[in-house]
Structure 1
Amino acid sequence: MAERRNYSDGFWWSRDGIRLHYREYAGPADKPPVLCFPGLTRNARDYEALAERLAGQWRVLCVEFRGRGESGYAKDPMSYVPLTYFQDVEALLEELKVDRFVAVGTSLGGLVTMLLAATERDKLAGVVLNDVGPEINPAGLARIRTYVGKAVWYPTWMHAARGVAEGNADVYPDYGIEDWLRMAKRLYRVNSSGRIVLDYDMKIAEPFRVPGNETGPDMWPTIDAMNGRPLLIVRGERSDILSEDTAERMVARVQGAELVTVPGIGHAPTLEEPEAVAGIERLLAKI
């Protein structure tokens, strides 16, 4: 039987001519849509549970950055940087005539959200930053460099699930094989040769190799720009990307901001954890 879909596929064009993809879950037009931005190697499938939970009550758009999922790959791999992703999102907002929205950003998606706060502050109705902040723990960046851009393939989904488990057991210590299988199907796709491969352009790793890219601009002013907006910061208790100190400093700078720590989890929470679900519900109730 065909899988039931409760979303539609949407596409838009970047300013440099790349066809980009998003999933849209229908919701009322009298509330700002919820825009979800995934992490570095991830795609719209990461937000399935969140989108399905909100659908009907909120319009949800799950964005796929260039080089991921059903979005086109860039000819210039040096465009795989947060500033370009931000410009791609700006083009989407213009295309859909969105003048107010709730942003949910995981990891890289959170960095894009911060850039939006700096330049599109009046459009932000609320913000969820998932396990990311204006300062990135160097240990986490070093770990990401060990795997991003390395082509991996498997002959079966069960092999893929076991591979994902081997690489992430310390991040999600309580996961069972069904959880790993579900995560594998978010991370991988079946290619034309029948192999199960990672669902992103391996060239997204190239900007990491440029000397000096480790130290970006000061992002703390983007947190200050969120003052006056509902802000939820979700942190994995064992995160090696967002430190406890940085998260607490973020909360201190934005009046009314809330920090939710997901126990036992590393980078990054899936936003399906009870603590994260409740936090998002509290944030949306403020919109």
Structure 2
Amino acid sequence: MPVLAAAAESLSIAAPDGLQLHVRRYRPAAEAGLLPVLCLPGLTRNEADFEPIARHLAGDARYPRTVFAMDLRGRGRSAYDPDWRNYNPAIELADVIAVVAALGIERAIFLGTSRGGILTMLMAAAQPAAIAGAILNDIGPLIERDGLMRIKSYAGRIPVPKNMTEAAEIVRDLFGAQFPNLTMADWRAWADRSWREGADGLVARYDQRIGETLNDLTPDQPIPDLWPQFDSLPQVPLMVIRGGLSDILSAETVAEMCSRRPGLEVLDVADQGHPPLLAEPRVLAAISDFVLRCDHAAGHRI
């Protein structure tokens, strides 16, 4: 499909406790009155992860729509919290609710990657009417322990690279087994989304103290499930994207999700792990088709 240029701008919105949250808004050249998309990133990730899909949807020549990509507190350009204990799903959910209200969003399609998908399921329990459709990117009601322990091993613990070349090598070494087809240019782009230039060298694009939220996680600790929150998702179009090499979302969990939710759309990305990058033409096209189905289900005439 033809993709046109879309304007991108940064917004600052106050959280309930006053902390400033950053949201990136991708605005099409001409509004078509379609549902907006709200993108929520992973635990240590930021809004830049969504730039390919955001520009693809906002720049759709036939069906342009506004896309918002949020930096959770302590990530990207959102302010860091003085107390790292506030990096928890309950407070982050309150932040999402505040952002939705400040943006004047009545209903949106939620696209949540990993932690963002958890927040989407929590949003379904808190404000189901706000969800006109949902995409869960490599996350479900059950999280695999091995994947969590892998994330604990690096979150807040990666040494500061000397330069972007070394940064690209670090992320390649960390994630190469889950993303075997990426080139060094891809790893450099990943590094650019993960660090920024600071006064004294490279700085991670998230508060390193977020790693402390995983300190109590042990290999034998029970992991609470989110089946009640998943079951709270309203009867709107629902898609789950799973990386074929994911160690966070298992095929068995996806099968159970399908049995609980007939009509759940499943998109497998065979050569990627946790989480799929949402940048390949096949994935972009599948998401484009899905959001149009959300418009139809919401009664929008297209």
Give 1:200 shift.
Answer: 0.6
> Equivalents in 2 of 1:227, 1:252: separation in Å?
16
> Equivalents in 2 of 1:58, 1:132: separation in Å?
25
Matched-pair contact (CA < 8 Å) for 1:151–1:197: no
2:77 is aligned to 70
Deviations 1:148-200 (A, max 9, x none): 0115222221121111111111111011111101110011111111x123111
> Equivalents in 2 of 1:184, 1:218: separation in Å?
32
> Equivalents in 2 of 1:26, 1:285: separation in Å?
17
Matched-pair contact (CA < 8 Å) for 1:80–1:204: yes
Deviations 1:27-58 (A, max 9, x none): 32622210000111110110110111111411
Runs ≥4 residues deviating over 6 A: none
Aligned residues with identical type, % of pairs: 37
Count how many residue pairs are aligned between Structure 1 and Structure 2. 283
SS in 2 for 1:279: helix
Give 1:274 shift.
Answer: 3.8
2:297 is aligned to none
* TM-score in terms of structure 1 length: 0.93
> Equivalents in 2 of 1:223, 1:283: separation in Å?
19
Q: Check if 1:259 corresponds to 2:266.
A: yes
> Equivalents in 2 of 1:254, 1:221: separation in Å?
12
1:38 is aligned to 41
Letter aligned with residue 96 of structure 1: L
Q: Check if 1:14 corresponds to 2:15.
A: yes
2:209 to 188, 203, 207: 203
Give 1:211 shift.
Answer: 6.3
> Equivalents in 1 of 2:271, 2:34: separation in Å?
34
Deviation larger for 180-189 or 254-263: 254-263
2:27 is aligned to 26
Matched-pair contact (CA < 8 Å) for 2:23–2:68: yes
SS in 1 for 2:45: coil
Matched-pair contact (CA < 8 Å) for 2:143–2:223: no
SS in 2 for 1:286: helix
Q: Which runs of 5+ in 1 are unaligned?
A: none
User: Alpha carbons of 1:211 and 1:259: their partners in 2 closer, same or farther (altered >3 Å)?
Assistant: closer
Give 1:216 shift.
Answer: 5.9
> Equivalents in 1 of 2:172, 2:269: separation in Å?
20
> Equivalents in 2 of 1:221, 1:36: separation in Å?
22
> Equivalents in 2 of 1:173, 1:199: separation in Å?
24
SS in 2 for 1:259: strand
1:85 is aligned to 92
Q: CA RMSD in A?
A: 1.9
Q: Which runs of 5+ in 2 are unaligned?
A: 295-302
Letter aligned with residue 241 of structure 1: I
Matched-pair contact (CA < 8 Å) for 1:10–1:23: yes
Give 1:210 shift.
Answer: 3.6
> Equivalents in 1 of 2:224, 2:182: separation in Å?
37
> Equivalents in 2 of 1:284, 1:144: separation in Å?
30
Give 1:243 shift.
Answer: 0.4
Spell out the pairing of 1:176-215 with structure 2 (5 A cutoff).
176-193=183-200, 195-210=201-216, 215=222
